[in-house]
Amino acid sequence: MSNTLKSRLKEKAKELGFFQTGVAAAGPLEKEARLLEEWLNRGYHGKMTYMENHFELRTNPQKLVPGAKSVLTFLCNYHQEEKQKDPLAPKLASYAFGKDYHFVIKDKLKWLLSWLEEEVGQIEGRGFVDSAPVMERAWAEKTGLGWVGKNTLIIHPKAGSYFFLAVLITDLELEPDVAIKDYCGTCTRCIDACPTDAIHAEGPLMDASKCISYLTIELKEAIPEAFKGKMENWMFGCDICQEVCPWNRFSKPHQEPAFEPDQRILDFTKEDWEEITEDVFKEIFKKSAVKRTKFSGLKRNISFLKK
């Protein structure tokens, strides 16, 4: 029964636009808990103090959903082939070209949970898309959706790393999938290419406090002068470690209409970005993940690149 249901569930997820689905048995993440504690102790979370909170919830899905038996993880492709047209324009990470993935994917998870309840009756379940203390990458690795690369992103051997991760924790018991091997080998391209030295050779290990994505999105205060001249013209997020990853030669364009780029983002020149007003910001990014950094944050980032 559970295998048949699992197969149908994966088919439904594919119909919804998820590239792949994996299943793991719910339980404490003991190894990952030790690694997280060490990462926090090193201060690699920077000013993201929320990473210190809810440690037990973060490392045990049964604390988030009492009675949880399965953790389902999903890959949602966002790979964009279109680029910003002005080579001198400040850059946005490609995941932010379209609508905010949080809302797009959360709707898919809600639909999937409703479908499951129609199939098996009432169940306990919660869907997560960066919305709670869930270690998505650990679960994606456990469920065989890829391995955690040296840049700490999930890498799928046939499709690369341009994916959003989503998690559904439920008290429904399903047959677990099997983890796959790490195929990064001796490659160090992401480590060598990172302009701020955020990726450690002893990895997979990231000093988030040096990551351009952290500096341009998570950090709410002034960007430290130590990063002057090292931002590679990124004003929101960064794609460098993905652009240089050999596995991303297998990336395919996404098929999600909501992730289609806003043409204004692609057309904006360097001058357009430097002169952007708050009204224009609100209009272009009203349904975008870029809202997270706010107008003041984006202006701060653009000004830092100009200095």
Q: Which of 276, 286, 249, 259 is CA-nearest to residue 93? A: 259
The 10s digit of each residue's pLDDT in 150-189 is 999 999 999 999 999 999 999 999 999 999 999 999 999 9
Q: Which residue has the higher pLDDT, 306 or 114?
A: 114
Q: For residue 77, which of 16, 152, 12, 4 has the smallest C-alpha distance?
A: 16
Portion of the chain with pLDDT greater than 70, in percent: 99
Distance CA 84, CA 97 (A): 9
Active site residue 130: yes
> Which of 43-57, 67-81, 249-263, 284-298 has the weakest average pLDDT?
43-57
Poorest-confidence range of 32-36, 50-54, 260-264?
A: 50-54
Res 52 pLDDT > 90: no
- Which is catalytic among the residues 86, 107, 130, 272? 130
| Res. 1 pLDDT band, cuts 50 70 90 | very low
The reported pLDDT for the residue numbered 2 is 63
Do the strands 91-92 and 70-77 form a parallel or antiparallel pair, or are they unpaired? unpaired
Q: For all residues of the chain together, what is the average pLDDT?
A: 95
Low-confidence winner among 48-52, 100-104, 268-272, 283-287 (lowest mean pLDDT):
48-52
Which residues, in sequence order, are bridge partners of residue 76?
Answer: 164
| Paired strand residues for 206 | 199
Q: What percent of the chain has pLDDT over 90?
A: 93
User: How do residues 94-140 score in pLDDT, each as one tens digit?
Assistant: 999 999 999 999 999 999 999 999 999 999 999 999 877 899 999 99
